[in-house]
Amino acid sequence: MLRKRERPGVEITEITGDAGRLPRQTEKNTAGVAIAAFLRHIGSDQGVAVTLHKKMPLGSGLGSSAASAVAGVFAINQLMGNPLSPADLLPFAMEGERLACGSAHADNVAPSLLGGFVVIRSYQPLDIIRIPTPDRLYCTLVHPQIEVNTKDARHILKKEISLQKTITQMGNVAGLIAGLMQADYALIGRSLVDVIVEPVRAILIPGFGEVKVAALGAGALGCSISGSGPSMFALSSDADTAAGVGAAMQARFAHLRIESEVYVSGINRVGPVVME
Amino acid sequence: MLRKRERPGVEITEITGDAGRLPRQTEKNTAGVAIAAFLRHIGSDQGVAVTLHKKMPLGSGLGSSAASAVAGVFAINQLMGNPLSPADLLPFAMEGERLACGSAHADNVAPSLLGGFVVIRSYQPLDIIRIPTPDRLYCTLVHPQIEVNTKDARHILKKEISLQKTITQMGNVAGLIAGLMQADYALIGRSLVDVIVEPVRAILIPGFGEVKVAALGAGALGCSISGSGPSMFALSSDADTAAGVGAAMQARFAHLRIESEVYVSGINRVGPVVME
């Protein structure tokens, strides 16, 4: 929640739900940094008090740092009378990611801000493509109670990829885009295959292979790592299947004595909204 | 042209337009191999006499070996009463490519056989995805009078690609598929960028950079190497521009004292047809 105040500057006045783990200084908080970048851009010295109600697990691969940054820029844009379009807010939200993981990437802030599936075609210049989302598509997210640091998960990636794997993965990317745009669920499933990043990062998630098998066995179209992990996601073509997939994944983690939280949801197509 | 004959076996009885360069032995000719593979598959010992009228330059990057293989399997399927669908003919046409360049790839035979744009998502199992083609899309092909051996052009490719380039190229692939499916010509243009293969193979084409600049300057959406070269292709959103692009590219090659042939065409959406 944002409130205008007389004294210039962005101040984080309260954070709840983070067990005291998030930094309170504006310049070390992803929402604070994003809001300050926005205000600099529009040339405003408006004072702002920020209250952050964190309702997502941290370090989960669910994009919690991005969620704060996006909420921040969306709210400050509203507060200032919407001078910018949602897409124009992206660079400021990306500043939050620069703080959180060392690079101003848009992997999480672009879909958070715009809703639905997006492709980041290019950063120089920034070129974000919105991909139409099939009507029936449900996401299961399972967050096991283990923590993976985003920076670590980036560091273990190989810097060189074989030409063969690159070709395979380009085929999967093309298939996924075509599948989404044609609402071809079988094609979405066949294309939800990651031969580059998943095999490396899966090592950091105990039981990854078994849990994935459980998800597919319960009817998921596909299953992989959410962000840099340890959360895993699965897509299903109906809500009941998505719930069953979540139960199956959670049971498999439980078998390995790993507690987990399950979230099942349709695809948000609109990005953030003002709640009151 | 195929004719049934009494004696079993596939015989190449005549080839025109190849200046005597193509092998006449069935097992060394891409059409002969493809036809024989088809007949083996359907368990027929039908005798066939093949006449090949080659109307494409060889070693051009235009897929001339694929054209013969596709023509062969399409014709023999017709001759035998169409026991197989066009898509089912692919594996036999791919046997022609195995002969021509050492690997049974579908880069050229899949679009030749099915028409339009196709994605080869996977070989194991074979998964070919047809991508809807925008109504207005024209191709300019320029074949400079220099020869590049397909096997050489494959060998100079780097075996390892940086993760950064892989990510960039996946963005371009996604953008191209979305651009084609939404008939977003600007997006098609921005996405017709190849950071992996083009920079390596362009070295084999004298003047590549200048010719590409000429194509874009004349209004092409994008321009790159056709197959393994030395032919270059450009896409345009109308026929007049496509013709102008061809003239500009040819002029640039001429400036470098390289003669070239220009072909301008819409996109074939149906694959091969019976001509009489």
What ipTM was assigned to the predicted interfaces of this complex? Answer: 0.91
The pLDDT value given to residue B157 = 85
Between the alpha carbon of residue A90 and those of residues A37, A95, A118, A203, B132, the distances in Å are: 11, 9, 13, 32, 31
Q: What is the 3-state secondary structure (H, E, C) of chain B?
A: CEEEECCCEEEEEEEECCCCCCCCCHHHCHHHHHHHHHHHHHCCCCEEEEEEECCCCCCCCCCHHHHHHHHHHHHHHHHCCCCCCCHHHHHHHHHHHHHHHCCCCCCCHHHHHHCCEEEEEEECCEEEEEECCCCCCEEEEEEECCCCCHHHHHHCCCCEEEHHHHHHHHHHHHHHHHHHHHCCHHHHHHHCCCCCCHHHHHHHCCCHHHHHHHHHHCCCCEEEECCCCCCEEEEECCHHHHHHHHHHHHHHHHHCCCCEEEEEEECCCCCCCCCC
The Cα–Cα gap between B163 and B156 comes to: 19
Q: Judge: domain B138-266, CATH 3.30.465.10.
A: no
| Average pLDDT across chain B, whole number | 93
The pLDDT value given to residue B55 = 84
What backbone phi and psi angles, to 5 degrees, belong to B199? -60, -30
Asked if A166 lies within 8 A of B169 by C-beta distance, the reply is yes
pTM: 0.93
CB B99 within 8 A of CB B127: no
CB B235 within 8 A of CB B187: no
Give how far B203 is from chain A: nearest CA, Å: 19
Q: Is the pLDDT of residue B255 over 90?
A: yes
The pLDDT value given to residue B158 = 86
- Specify the CATH number of the domain A2-131: 3.30.230.10
Q: Which of B30, B97, B140, B241 is catalytic?
A: B97
Please indicate whether residue B129 or residue B63 has the higher confidence score (pLDDT): B129
The Cα–Cα gap between B113 and B120 comes to: 13
The pLDDT value given to residue B227 = 87
The Cα–Cα gap between A154 and A156 comes to: 6
The pLDDT value given to residue B56 = 83
Q: Is the pLDDT of residue A63 over 90?
A: no
CB A131 within 8 A of CB A175: no
Asked if A173 lies within 8 A of B175 by C-beta distance, the reply is no
Q: Is A128 on the interface with B (CB under 8 A)?
A: no
The pLDDT value given to residue B150 = 63
The Cα–Cα gap between B69 and B65 comes to: 6
Q: Is the pLDDT of residue A78 over 70?
A: yes
- Specify the CATH number of the domain B2-130: 3.30.230.10
Q: Is the pLDDT of residue A271 over 70?
A: yes
* Model pLDDT for residues B149-162, shown as the tens digit of each residue: 666 767 788 899 99
Q: Is the pLDDT of residue B102 over 90?
A: no
Q: Which of B30, B95, B140, B150 is catalytic?
A: B150
Q: Is the pLDDT of residue B148 over 90?
A: no
The Cα–Cα gap between B55 and A18 comes to: 70
Amino acid in the structure at residue A130: R
Q: Which of A119, A171, A182 sits opposite B119 (nearest CB)?
A: A171
The Cα–Cα gap between A41 and A21 comes to: 29
Percent of chain B past pLDDT 90, that is, above it, reads: 82
Asked if A162 lies within 8 A of B163 by C-beta distance, the reply is no
Q: Is the pLDDT of residue A46 over 90?
A: yes
The Cα–Cα gap between A251 and A245 comes to: 10
The pLDDT value given to residue A134 = 94
Looking at chain B, which residue has its C-alpha nearest residue A171? B121
User: Would you list the domain boundaries of chain A?
Assistant: 2-131, 138-266
The Cα–Cα gap between B207 and B248 comes to: 13
Asked if B166 lies within 8 A of A161 by C-beta distance, the reply is yes
* Model pLDDT for residues A152-206, shown as the tens digit of each residue: 767 788 899 999 999 999 999 999 999 999 999 999 999 999 999 999 999 999 9
Average pLDDT, integer, range B162-186: 97
CB B223 within 8 A of CB B171: no
The pLDDT value given to residue A150 = 63
* Model pLDDT for residues A234-249, shown as the tens digit of each residue: 999 999 999 999 999 9
Q: Pick from A91-105, A138-152, B210-224 the range whose average pLDDT is largest.
A: B210-224
Confidence of residue A212 (pLDDT cuts 50, 70, 90): very high
Q: Is the pLDDT of residue B232 over 90?
A: yes
CB B95 within 8 A of CB B27: no
Q: Is A44 on the interface with B (CB under 8 A)?
A: no
Average pLDDT, integer, range B11-36: 90
The pLDDT value given to residue B192 = 97
Average pLDDT, integer, range A9-28: 89
Between the alpha carbon of residue A141 and those of residues A154, A263, B172, the distances in Å are: 21, 5, 28
Q: Is the pLDDT of residue B226 over 70?
A: yes
Q: Which residues contact B125 (CB under 8 A, 6 or more apart)?
A: none
